[in-house]
Amino acid sequence: MANVVVVGSQWGDEGKGKIVDWLADRADVVVRYQGGHNAGHTLVIEGKVYKLSLLPSGLVQGKISVIGNGVVVDPRHFVEEVKKLQGQGVKISPDTLMVAANAPLILSLHQELDAIREGSNEGLKIGTTKRGIGPAYEDKVGRRAIRVMDLGEPDSLMQKIERLLLHHNALRRGMGIDEINAQDIYNELMGVADFILPFMGQAWRLLDDMQKKNKRILFEGAQGALLDNDHGTYPFVTSSNVVAGQAAAGSGVGPGALDYVLGITKAYTTRVGEGPFPTELQNEIGQFLGEKGHEFGVVTGRKRRCGWFDAVLVRQMVKICGINGIALTKLDVLDGLSEIKVCTGYELDGEVLDYFPASMGAQSRVKPVYETLEGWQDISAGARSWADLPAQAIKYVRYIEELIGCPVALLSTSPERADTILVTDPFQT
C-alpha cells in the first residue's frame, strides 16, 4: 500500500481540506508536515461543517493524527481548536492525536511582531495572516525557538525564554516599543502546558512503527507550493518549505516513504495577499468566480484574488514537487461561462516563456498568453462520474492534463465529500 503526500499546486486554497478528508477515509494515519494555523481547511460531512487550521483533517475521521516537527504550533490556538472540535462531537485524545516533541511554538510575541511588521508603512508588505508564523520560523532557524518538549522542563524553561528575549527585546527597542518580561512568557506557556503535554510524543518513532506495520500514511500539506520559501513567488511567500519533499523532513521519515504525490489543483486560480498573479481578473468574471466559489479565507475571512487557470505555474510545480496526479477541484464554479481562458505561456519583454521566472521584477512584468475554450451551460456540480459531466467540461479537463503533463487522479465537483470522481486511487499505486 502506498503512502500519499498531498500538496497544493498553486497559492493555496485549492480545496485540500475536502480531498484530505476524502483520502483520510482510506488512510490509517494523517500527518501535518509544515505551516501553522494560518492555513484553513473546511470539511463538509453530511451537511456538517468543520473548520480546521492547525489540526490534521484526519481527526474528524477518527484517524491517528500527527502534528509533525515541521509545523509551528500556537499552543493557545491548539487548546482552542481541540476544544472546539470536541464540542462538535469529534473524539480527540492522546490515543488519536500526537504533537511532535520537537515542533517549535508560536508565542504571543511572534504574533505581535508579525502584526507590527505588516502594519508598518516601511518595508515590503507580504500579506501575512499576522498569526506569528514567519517570526516563529525565524526563531527556529536562529536556534532560539521554544519547542513543545520545553513545556515539560519548567526548571530550564526560563533560561531558554531569556535567551529568546535577547533577540526579541533588541528588535523591540529598535522599533521603539516596550520590551517583554520573561516571566510573562513563562506564565503564558505554563498556562497551557498541562493541556498539551499529554499529546506530546516522538512522531518519527510512531511513523516508523506505522510503516513497519504496512499502514497507509497520508501526509497533509498546508498552503500551496507557489508559496514555498525556495520555489515560490519570493519574497511574497510563506516562511516554510511547502513543496512535497518537505513531507519527509517535516514529519521525520525518509524520502523513500513518500510513494505518491497528489497535487490539489483548482480549476481556476486564486491568491490571498500580496504578490504577482499573472492571470488575475479584476473585472466581472473575477467577481463571478469569487462569489460563486465562495473565495474568502477560512482563517482570516479575506477576499481572495481570482483569475483564469495558469497551466505554466501548475506545470512548474508538477515538476518541482514530483506530482504523480492531480485532484482537480471546483470545476463546478466554471458552470455557466460562455468561454473559458487558460494561460499557456507568458510574454516578457518581447520574449515568450514556458516557465515562471524567479526574479521579482520579471514576475511582475510577465503577461499571460491565453488559449480560449468554449464553456458549458450544463451543470457539473454534484457529478460523481464522467458520464455526469458536460462534454465541454471533459474537454477542459483533458486540455489541462495535456498542458501540465500530469493526469487527473480525482475530480471534485462540490464541497461535499461524496461529490468526487475517482480516476486513480493514490493509495493503490
95 included as an active-site residue: no
Checking 157-166 for CB contacts under 8 A at 24+ apart, the result is 157/186, 157/189, 158/182, 158/183, 158/186, 161/185, 161/186, 161/189, 164/139
Given the residues 41, 77, 168, 231, select the one marked as catalytic: 41
Task: Report the 10 Å Cβ neighbour count for 162.
Answer: 13
Catalytic: which of 13, 139, 310, 419? 13
For residues 31 and 220, the answer to whether their CB atoms sit within 8 Å is: yes
**Cα dihedral across residues 387, 391, 396, 401: positive or negative:** positive
Count of all residues that appear for the chain in the document: 429
**Cα angle 133, 188, 204; round to 5:** 55
| Alpha-carbon span 266 to 149, nearest angstrom | 38
Residue 37 φ/ψ, nearest 5 degrees: -95, 30
**DSSP assignment string, 378-421:** S--TT--SGGGS-HHHHHHHHHHHHHHT--EEEEE-SSBTT-EE
Q: Active-site residue 168, yes or no?
A: no
Residue 385 CB neighbours (<10 A): 9
Smallest CA-to-CA distance from 166 within 180, 154, 153 is with 180
Task: Sort strands 217-220 and 4-8 into parallel, antiparallel or unpaired.
Answer: parallel
- Which uninterrupted H or E stretch holds 201? strand 200-201
> What is the grid cell recorded at 91?
473524539
Catalytic residues: 13, 41
